[in-house]
Amino acid sequence: MPPTPARLLAAVASASLLMVSASPASAAEPASPPAPPPHAWLFGTWTGGIFPAPSALTAQACLSQPVVIFTRDVILRATLTSELYIQRVVESARTSPSGAEFRFASGGGPIAASPLGMTAAPPAPGFGCDNPDTLQVRRHTDNEISFPGCTDFPYPLVRCPAR
């Protein structure tokens, strides 16, 4: 005897209810955001380093030309000889109470041609440190760091203010 449409509908409804109640998404708590990486305290824009940071620094002035920008996966740095930032991809980051150490993927980011179509000699990919694929960051305060042993950054860097 073939099942009636009412029995088929009841069977489908109970199977659907069973699938929904057994779904892991409905049983689990709302997902919490992933923990930030250990170097999250560096995220943002920094100035100084190449030159002494001004003592009275407005957010607008600092954000208009940051010297170093830290993100989760990339660190960008400015140079005096190019309008483009050098991009270094973070391979690993290790922190300690005194700072952080970054290891970069080999080589710098791609070099783009200038607006006039001329290409310049590519800038050095590192920060003027002994090893261009490593960066040591020394934490002085929450808003001041330095790159010890890196000749391109003889001065401390300060975090750009938010406002």
Does the model's pTM come out above 0.75?
Answer: no
**Per residue of the chain (163 residues), what is the pLDDT tens digit?**
555 444 544 444 444 444 444 445 545 667 788 888 888 999 999 999 999 988 888 899 899 889 999 999 999 999 888 888 999 999 999 999 999 999 999 864 455 555 666 665 555 578 999 999 999 999 999 999 999 999 999 999 999 988 7
Q: What are phi and psi of 20, to 5 degrees?
A: -70, -40
Number of domains in the chain: 1
Domain assignment present for 145:
yes
Domain assignment present for 144:
yes
Domain assignment present for 15:
no
Domain assignment present for 52:
yes
Domain assignment present for 11:
no
Domain assignment present for 35:
no
* AA letter at 87: Q
* The pLDDT value given to residue 22: 46
* The pLDDT value given to residue 81: 85
* The pLDDT value given to residue 107: 60
Residue 22 bridge partners (DSSP):
none
Domain assignment present for 20:
no
Q: Which two tokens stand for residue 148?
A: 């010890």
> Are β-strands 44-48 and 157-159 bridged in parallel, bridged antiparallel, or unpaired?
antiparallel
